[in-house]
Amino acid sequence: MSRARPLTFYEFFAGGGMARIGLGPDWRCAFANDFDPVKAAVYRANFADAEAHFREGDVWALSPEDLPGQADLAWASSPCQDFSLAGGRAGLKGGRSSAFFGFWRLIEALNADGRAPRAVVIENVTGLFTSHGGADFTALCEALAREGYRFGALEIDASRFLPQSRPRAFVVAVREAPAAGLAGDSVFHTRLVREAHGRLPAALAERWVWWRAEAPPRPNADLSSLIEADAPWRDAGETDEILGLMSPLHRQRLEALRASGARAVGALFRRMRVEDGVRVQRAEARFDGLAGCLRTPRGGSSRQTLIMVEDGEVRTRLITAREGARLMGLPDGYALPHSANRGLHVVGDGVAVPVVRWLAAQLLEPHLSGRPGVLAAE
């Protein structure tokens, strides 16, 4: 990018600063916040200037005076548990996702002070589109509209950039009408996005932007290319115990791979299934070159197991924190906690770095660096 000044941003719910890394060196972080002490420590370890702009603590404890100047962008990856299937979908008013309103009241105050960010990106799980029958998404759009923003949404799976299946909702809102070249069709206008738009009242639908975003080239790397060569594997007995949890179909697929003599690396989760009316634990593996969606290691099914088939042998082990970081697009120089669970806690709650970079290059930088144009017809 070439401009007179760097674009500035606030990063709320910053975690380990993955949105900052994705935006890149041509952006300047004016303020960042997270309440989690582990994530805050990782943020400070990775950014030398953290003491100047990072605030550890609850977003509700912040005031508009804590936010310097007027940022070009406010990025918010608010806690997602209440939008996910695992979190019971309590919605915007439930549990941790109420943190969103702690963030939004700051945007409202900045707007009243004439300092509203020119753009806002809200990243969350795709349950955001359907939570409470779509009422939560409509409420979000209403909040954006009240503060003078136009908005649209994209559903982007990190698997288009990285060997990890990680679909996420990205709501991109701007105060100035985007140039005609930034609006149009996109592969990321999925069924969930179109249905969410279709449920909006007419007044909100008029403020909708169908963001045009080109599909990126398919990634060259697969899961096997990201594993740590020197990480220890489980002993044969532990592996046999896990394989014993496989359903006949999954075991049949594994045995076919073993018999082929080919090398294959897959990802395995333990899940509860109902079979003949009885809940049973099953081990389910995928060998499509992708890891499953990384999660924070809180439950029994949350931490993935790697499974390798090579020369007729099968080995298993838990995924490492460094492998998790690679699956999020973080460089190997990114500092992680010594504890694997803490490292996976940080990266599993983050946003995939190349998705942020792609959004910045496709939409944010062209809009914020150029002259606003006329909103394209819908």
Share of the chain above pLDDT 70, in %: 90
pLDDT of residue 3: 55
pTM above 0.85, yes or no: yes
Residue appearing with tokens 């970079």 = 357
Confidence (pLDDT) at 93: 56
- With a CB cutoff of 8 Å and minimum separation 6, the contacts of 82 are 88, 89, 90, 91, 92, 94, 95, 96, 97, 131
Task: State pLDDT tens for residues 192-239.
Answer: 999 999 999 999 999 999 999 889 998 888 999 999 999 999 999 999
Give the model's confidence band at 99: pLDDT under 50 very low, under 70 low, under 90 confident, else very high.
Answer: confident
- Mean pLDDT value across residues 116-121: 98
What does the pLDDT look like over 74-96, one tens digit per residue? 999 987 544 433 334 455 555 44
CATH number among 3.40.50.150, 3.90.550.10, 1.10.260.40, 3.40.50.970, domain 7-219+348-369: 3.40.50.150
Query: 92 vs 263, which has greater pLDDT?
Result: 263
Q: In a 3-state reduction of DSSP, which class is residue 80?
A: coil
Which residues are bridge partners to 265 per DSSP?
A: 308
Question: Could you report the per-residue pLDDT of 12-63, keeping only the tens digit for each?
Answer: 999 999 999 999 999 999 999 999 999 999 999 999 999 999 999 999 999 9
**What phi and psi values does residue 179 have, to the nearest 5 degrees?**
-60, 150
Give the single-character DSSP code of 164.
B
Nearest to 272 by CA among 281, 261, 263: 281
Q: Is the pLDDT of residue 307 over 60?
A: yes
User: What does R_g of the chain's alpha carbons equal in angstroms?
Assistant: 22
pLDDT above 60 (res 275): yes
- pLDDT recorded at residue 298: 62
pLDDT, tens only, 139-184: 899 999 999 999 999 999 999 999 999 999 999 999 998 877 899 9
**Other residues' Cβ atoms within 10 Å of the Cβ of residue 366:** 15
For the segment 317-345, the average pLDDT, to the nearest whole number, is 96
Query: DSSP string of 313-370?
Result: EEEEEEPPHHHHHHHTT--TTS---SSHHHHHHHHHTS--HHHHHHHIIIIIHHHHHS
Q: Which pLDDT belongs to residue 80? A: 58
* pLDDT at residue 359 in the model: 97
Residues contacting residue 293 through CB under 8 Å, at least 6 positions apart: 164, 165, 166, 167
Strand duo 119-124 + 167-174: pairing: antiparallel
Domain boundaries, the chain: 7-219+348-369, 232-319
Q: Is the pLDDT of residue 356 over 50?
A: yes
